[in-house]
Amino acid sequence: MVGPAPGGGSPLENANPLIYRRSGERPVTAREEDDELPDSIDDREIFDLIRSINDPEHPLTLEELNVVEQVRVKVNDAESTVVVEFTPTIPHCSMATLIGLSIKVKLIRSLPERFKVDVHITPGTHASEHAVNKQLADKERVAAALENSHLLEVVNQCLSARS
């Protein structure tokens, strides 16, 4: 479902990307330390889940490449929906599907089952936006992709904590 795997010796598509500043750790508030009060799942919490995902071809995170931004994350805790838009660094990025898949897998692994997760490309930022969105929205194709051990390896590398 995804184009050529990274690291195959082909030159990078975007060898010199613009790098953005990382946002700091979310400070822990007194309210969060009070065991009695519930904290609802908010945009920042979802953003924290995906901002540290590694880019498949650069030693940088999606946040540093500005592929994901907090303003493009929408969550509704009561209705159990999450919408994430991501922006490929260049309009022809062949990694777009892989990045979308990584975000989707990360959210599926980290969110309660009640959530419906929608991951798609920021409108107007990719040449084959429609095809990629369709691929990402198709449950069957996502599940099939994760059966492929080579693809799973690449996704896991994106999700591994950087040492």
Question: With respect to another protein, which residue has the nearer C-beta, 26 or 130?
Answer: 26
Sheet containing strand 116-121, edge to edge, reads: 73-76, 81-86, 116-121
Closer Cβ to another protein, 53 or 96, answer by number: 53
In the complex with another protein, the residue whose CB is nearer, 78 or 149, is: 149
List C-alpha distances in Å: 111 to 11, 42, 79, 95, 154: 36, 12, 14, 24, 21
Site for another protein in 67-86 (CB under 8 A): none
- Choosing from 11, 140, 147, 149, the residue that interacts with another protein (CB under 8 A) is 149
Of residues 79, 113, 140, 147, which one binds another protein by CB under 8 A? 113
What is the spatial distance between Cα 102 and Cα 151, in angstroms, rounded to a whole number?
10
Q: In the set 11, 27, 112, 124, which binds another protein (CB under 8 A)?
A: 112
Residue nearer to another protein on the CB measure, 109 or 139: 109
- On whether the CB atoms of residues 100 and 117 are closer than 8 A, the answer is no
CA-CA distance, 47 to 23, in Å (whole number)? 10
How many residues bind another protein (CB under 8 A)? The answer is 29
The alpha carbon torsion through 42, 45, 47, 53 (nearest 10 deg) reads -150
Nearer to another protein, 111 or 119 (CB): 111
Which of 66, 94, 110, 128 contacts another protein by CB under 8 A? 110
Which residue from 92, 112, 81, 88 is spatially nearest to 102, judged by alpha carbons? 88
Question: What are residue 116's DSSP bridge partners?
Answer: 81
- Residue showing tokens 């989707």: 104
Q: CB under 8 A: which stretch of 67-75, 95-103, 131-139, 148-156 binds another protein? A: 148-156
Q: Report residue 38 as tokens.
A: 């519930």
Q: Which residues bind another protein (CB under 8 A)?
A: 19, 28, 32-33, 35, 38-39, 41, 45, 48-49, 106, 109-114, 149-150, 152-157, 159-161
